[in-house]
Amino acid sequence: MPEHTATTNHPAPPRQPWVHEAVVEIAADTDPRALGGAVTTALCGHWEHDGPCRWPHNNDLEGRTFRTLFVCEPADEPEVRARIRAALLEGAGWRVLSDRARPVTDAEWPLARNLMSVPRRE
């Protein structure tokens, strides 16, 4: 049965997976987990929170490439991406060398499907 919006009996728009990726330079004395904490705080209000995320996401850092995979309705994608960019650009202890939107890779699809199954929080 499809989810329904709180104010109507119409099915909620489907969420889709998206990826935002940045190449970063992290200062030697900075905990690399701080990047993920900054993005999670930007999307959820705090890096440690109760309940599901409004925009379920996963952060990963491989070498100098930081990736956030997130799911949201298409109308929310620009806002989510802007929050991720702002968190990365305003953070202390690292420098963003470049960032971009990119497609979800084949290897990321299992995670994307898992995130899409997380209950929606308004």
Residues 81-118 have pLDDT tens digits of: 999 999 999 989 999 999 999 999 999 999 999 999 98
pLDDT (tens digit, 9 = 90+) per residue, 70-81? 999 999 999 999
- Residue 32, pLDDT > 60, answer yes
Residue 10 confidence (pLDDT): 59
Q: Which amino acid is at 22?
A: A
When computed from its CA atoms, the radius of gyration of the chain, rounded to whole angstroms, is 15
Domains contained in the chain, CATH given: 16-116 (3.30.70.1120)
Residue 49 confidence (pLDDT): 65
